[in-house]
Amino acid sequence: MPGVKLGDIGAKFGFNGKDNGYMELKDCRIKRIDMLSRFASVDKDGEFTINGDPRAMYAGMMEVRSLLSLYTWHNLAGALVIATRYSVFRK
C-alpha cells in the first residue's frame, strides 16, 4: 500500500525467540476502531492519551529485561563450563 513501509529488525543477540519488525505509516488514515488501543488511544480531535498506569507498563518492560539478563547469565555459565573443560583436556 502507498505510504506503508514494513521491515524486519533482524536477529536479536541472545534472544532470537522474538521476531521484531517495524511499521512506518506516512500520510495514511486509519479508522480509530481499527487501531490497537489497549495502552494508548487517539480521540476524534486527534488528542493522544495513554490508557492505564504508565508505571504498570514500565514494570512489565522491566520484568522482560530482568528475564533477559537471567537467560544471559545461564548461557554465560554454560560457555564458561565448556571453556574450562576444553582448557583442562587440550594438548
21-77 per-position pLDDT tens digit: 899 989 988 888 888 888 888 888 888 888 888 888 888 889 888 888 888 888 899
Quote the number of domains for the chain: 1
Threshold 0.75, pTM exceeds: no
Range of the domain at 69: 4-89
Q: Are strands 40-42 and 21-25 parallel, antiparallel or unpaired?
A: unpaired
DSSP code per residue over 5-43: EEEE----TT-TT---EEEEESS----GGGS--SSEEE-
49 close to 41: Cβ distance less than 8 angstroms: yes
